[in-house]
Amino acid sequence: MKLTRRKLLTGGALAALATGAVVVDNVTATQPQWAPARSGDPVPRRPQPEDASFRRTPIAPSFAERRKQYLDFAVARATAPDRGGIFTDLVKLAAGAIDSVSEPALKDALDFVNARKDTADFTLCGLVRLYSLFAGSGKLTSDQESAIRQAILGFKYWLDEPNPTLMELWTENHQILAWSSEYLAGQLWPNAVFSNNGQNGIWHKQHAYQKISRWIDWRARTGMAEWDSVVYYNMDFAALLNLADFSKDTALARRAAMMVDLLFFDIAVDSFYGQYGTSHGRAAGYHVKSAASDSTVTLQALAWGLGRFQGLGMSEAALVTSNYDLPQVIEDLARDMPGEMINLERHSIPITDQAASQYGLSFNDEKDVEIWWAMGAFTHPKVIDLTMRTADRWNLWNYPDFKDLKDLAKTLQSLGMLSSASRLLNPDSNGTIMSEVNKITFRTPEGMLSSAQDFRKGEKGYQQHVWQATLGPYAVVFVTHPDGLREDDSQRPSYWASQGRFPRTGQYRNVLISIYNIDRHPSPGPLEARHYGFTHAYFPRWAFDELREVPAASGGGWMFGCKGDGYVGLYSHLPNRWQSQGPDANQEMVAPGLQNVWICQIGRKEIDSSFDFFVKAVSTTPIAVNGLAVDYKAPGVGQVQFGWEGPLKVDGKEIPLSGYPMWENPYTRAEFNSGVIEVKFGQRALLLDFTKGERIIEG
């Protein structure tokens, strides 16, 4: 009898505990919510009648003519009295429009570099080009030449050098920026002592040569960790063009030019009339919301004439003052707009023991830090022990990125629990990871749909832009789970950039399904800054010619837009409504909830008939959503099945979401990890063989 009573008491206690746990869970869980109020000006700025038009035909037929027009554009711009002004004056000096560099701009640039502030390596890259082009020409005074020389000789070129700074030299673009400048500085002054670490120019040139060689070789074989970065490719171009122009080692200069070819090809097959409307490894919200803020638009307008001249930055200044010649085959295919074009590509590698072994890497060797950190894998469970040891050896604890981890991480490391803690506690820093990505772009003359297939579902993001539909410079559609309320880049993820939690996305041709399964609970305490209970779509009503809304029985429904002869339809399974206040009024659709299914399908008049016909065909087709599984009979495509688990199927056939070549499209098939790419279009061809250092141009 006593035993029975004890059982009853124990059962009652367990029931009470279970009830309490449910209450605590419900109180602490993230709940579905409407988007919090935001203030500020609308982004993007609405187009004005006086704005230059975006060109779908070349601005001018040849690069020489476009360069001349761009020089006129640049000369008409005022030189800012800050460090950015040196890039403007670089172009003006090359155009012969001025005889000397702006003293306020140069002073600010030198002060910034000498203070070793973060992104000082951006400015240093400009100073290296300025000095290399104009030292001894009379365009720089002797005092200016001396000041630039001292700034270059006094710089800190890698993280293991003494004297702590806040320069984040570990990312992919920062690495090549710092090492390219280091190499050219060592070449310029082989016997001079570099004051930060006491080594001479010969030592620095050799150090940088080894780093640059590995940087180029790795990316020629495995692609870019910061894949298709709408902002950071600009920095890569500036650094590589410096090497291509100024390295006296012709083999290194050629490899740098080959890498420039590769990046231009990458942009060309993922752009829509000069607009880089694809998935990106790193981008801010303002970069992807319109072509007006796309920082590659001017570069593309220079390279192949599509888009418009709208800015002057590092890459434009480098290209327009460079001897580099873009192979004609890339210029031609960049303008090619067939009825349909599908591009598959793969970048980066998985962060696994198997991949490390396959690619000759280690999770324990300090020399491989530059690979893992370039992928943003600082606190990944496989890498975090190496990160801690390296931060100790290189004295990096002053960096905010490392400082917050120091005490807790050291304690866990001493207990042998660091890797497990990273996996279980999932700090915000894990969001920076840019591991293997398999991408697809479907493009027609009227629209483009591009995505990262099944990329890190349910995990945290940082600046990765998963998918986008593009019908015009401002007619852009995409969906995110925000993890910040700011529009700018000071919060990562921000309101529109990247994802608090990644969806599982699968795309086949012109149809995409994106499924959200957002954690009910954020990571504990200080390990996660924010966590919201809604997803939202960027759908700028004002940018489309016509709009239609069709409700669905689920409470959600379709939103359709027409731009020219291109169409887009966006479906939310959960109820949603338009934002009517704040900077995103009439361009944001908010869907409260932690689990949701979004579907996007693009179409065009030539295939889908009228806009009304497209709307009717898509909105009346059956959609079955069962939890996180979707069955959608996509008009013109077939029966599309996708879920949080399992394959993407179309009419019962499994569609691969991984294992793509480095590129596969009408112009090439380049195998991943081969280091060889052969591009063909028409009667022209380009062979880039990084295994032999060969660049062969035909036609």
DSSP string, 381-419: TTTHHHHHHHHHHHT-TTSHHHHTTHHHHHHHHHTT-HH
Percent of the chain topping pLDDT 90: 88
The answer to whether residue 286 sits within a structural domain is yes
Determine the residue type at 551: P
Closest CA to 678 of 696, 660, 655: 696
For the cut 70, the answer to whether the pLDDT of residue 525 exceeds it is no
Pair 469, 479: CB distance under 8 Å = no
- What residue type is 525 in one-letter code? G
For the segment 151-173, the average pLDDT, to the nearest whole number, is: 97
Whether residue 368 sits in one domain with residue 295: no
* pLDDT, average across residues 538-557: 96
What is d(CA 271, CA 530) in angstroms, rounded to the nearest whole number? Answer: 33
174 vs 531, more confident: 174
Q: What is the pLDDT of residue 11?
A: 41
User: Which of the 8 DSSP states describes residue 503?
Assistant: P
Within a domain: residue 13? no
Q: Is residue 28 predicted with pLDDT exceeding 80? A: no
- pLDDT computed for residue 10 by the predictor: 41
Tell me, yes or no, whether 75 lies in a domain.
yes
Residue 16 domain-assigned?
no
Residue type present at position 523 = S
pLDDT beyond 70 at 189: yes
pLDDT at 72: 98
Distance CA 558, CA 561 (A): 10
Residue 627, pLDDT score: 95
Closest CA to 90 of 292, 261, 321, 246: 321
412 vs 318, which has greater pLDDT? Answer: 318
Q: Looking at residue 27, what is its pLDDT?
A: 57
Give the model's pLDDT for residue 333.
98
Quick one: which of 415, 267, 396, 281 has its CA closest to 343?
Answer: 267
Q: What are phi and psi of 279, to 5 degrees?
A: -70, 140
* Residues 492 and 548 placed together within one structural domain of the fold: yes
Helix axes 120-134, 172-188, angle to 10 degrees: 30
For the cut 70, the answer to whether the pLDDT of residue 568 exceeds it is: yes
Could you tell me if 147 and 222 lie in one domain? yes
Mean pLDDT of 438-453: 98
What confidence score (pLDDT) does residue 147 get? 98
The reported pLDDT for the residue numbered 119 is: 97
The whole-number pLDDT of residue 583 equals: 96
Is residue 304 domain-shared with residue 276, that is, in the same domain?
Answer: yes
Examine the domain organization and report whether 360 and 325 are in the same domain.
no
Mean pLDDT of 300-311: 98
**Domain shared by 376 and 310, yes or no:** no
pLDDT at 2 over 60: no
pLDDT of residue 14: 35
Query: When comparing pLDDT for 78 and 420, which is higher?
Result: 78
Sorting pLDDT into bands at 50, 70 and 90, what band is 282?
very high
Q: How confident is the model at residue 407 (pLDDT cuts 50, 70, 90)?
A: confident
Long-range contacts, stretch 520-525, CB < 8 angstroms, 24+ apart: 520/25, 520/29, 520/30, 520/594, 521/25, 521/28, 521/29, 521/30, 522/30, 523/425, 523/426, 523/427, 523/428, 524/425
- Model pLDDT, residue 12: 44
Mean of pLDDT over the chain: 94
Residue 657 has a pLDDT of 98
Predicted local distance difference test score (pLDDT) of residue 7: 33
Q: Above 90 in pLDDT, residue 490?
A: no
Section 67-75 average pLDDT:
98
Is residue 429 domain-resident? Answer: no
pLDDT bracket for residue 21 (50, 70, 90): very low
Q: Does residue 148 share a domain with residue 271? A: yes
Report, as an integer, the average pLDDT of 90-101.
Answer: 97
In this predicted structure, the answer to whether residue 430 has a pLDDT above a threshold of 70 is yes
Quickly state the pLDDT bin for 8 (edges 50, 70, 90).
very low
d(CA 223, CA 591): 35
524, 425 in Cβ contact below 8 A? yes
Closest C-alpha among 588, 603, 357, 631 to residue 485: 588
Residue 418: per-residue pLDDT: 84
User: Is 555 in contact with 500 (CB distance < 8 Å)?
Assistant: no
pLDDT of res. 26: 56
Average pLDDT over residues 448-474: 97
426 in any annotated domain: no
- pLDDT at position 505 is 98
Mean pLDDT of 212-227: 98
Least Cα distance to 463 among 278, 231, 224, 282 occurs for 282
Q: Quick one: 473 and 394 in the same domain? A: no
- Neighbouring CB atoms inside 10 A of 523's CB total 17
Same domain, 407 and 441: no
Mean pLDDT calculated for residue range 590-607: 98
- Residue 25: per-residue pLDDT: 55
- Please tell me the distance from the alpha carbon of residue 383 to that of residue 379, in angstroms, as a whole number: 6
Integer Cα distance of 76 and 87 in angstroms: 14
Pair (409, 449) in one structural domain: no
**What is the number of structural domains in the chain?**
3
Q: What pLDDT score was predicted for residue 17?
A: 37
Mean pLDDT calculated for residue range 313-335: 98
Place of tokens 């009439």: 586
pLDDT in the model for residue 269: 98
DSSP 150-219: HHHHT---STTSSS-----TTSHHHHHHHHHHHHHHHHH-TTSB-TTT--BHHHHHHHHHHHHHHHHHHH
For 417-556, list the strands marked E by DSSP. Answer: 437-444, 447-452, 467-470, 476-480, 504-508, 511-517, 534-538, 546-551
Check whether residue 413 and residue 468 sit in a common domain: no
Would you say residue 96 has pLDDT above 50?
yes
pLDDT at 527 over 80: no
By CB atoms closer than 10 A (0-12, 13-18, 19+), residue 123 is buried
625, 647, 669: which is the final residue of a domain? Answer: 647
Above 90 in pLDDT, residue 524?
no
User: Is the per-residue pLDDT at 4 higher than 80?
Assistant: no
Provide the 8-state DSSP code for 593.
Answer: S
Q: How far apart are CA 193 and CA 601, in angstroms?
A: 60
Which pLDDT score, from 0 to 100, does residue 489 have?
81
Q: Is residue 229 part of a domain?
A: yes
pLDDT of residue 528: 82
Q: How many CB atoms lie within 10 A of CB 130?
A: 25
- Domain limits at 413? 353-418
The tens digit of pLDDT for each residue in 381-400 reads 999 999 999 999 999 999 98
Cα-based angle 555, 559, 562 (whole degrees, multiple of 5): 170
Mean pLDDT of 374-384: 95
Do the domain assignments include residue 634?
yes
Of 606, 629, 647, the position where a domain reaches its end is 647
* Among candidate residues 631, 647, 663, the one where a domain is terminated: 647
Asked if 108 and 165 sit in the same domain, the reply is yes
Q: Report the C-alpha gap between 63 and 32 in whole angstroms.
A: 53
H/E stretch holding 120 reads helix 120-134
Question: Residue 254 in 3-state DSSP?
Answer: helix
Rg of the chain (C-alpha set): 26
Mapped onto helix, strand or coil, the DSSP state of residue 336 is coil
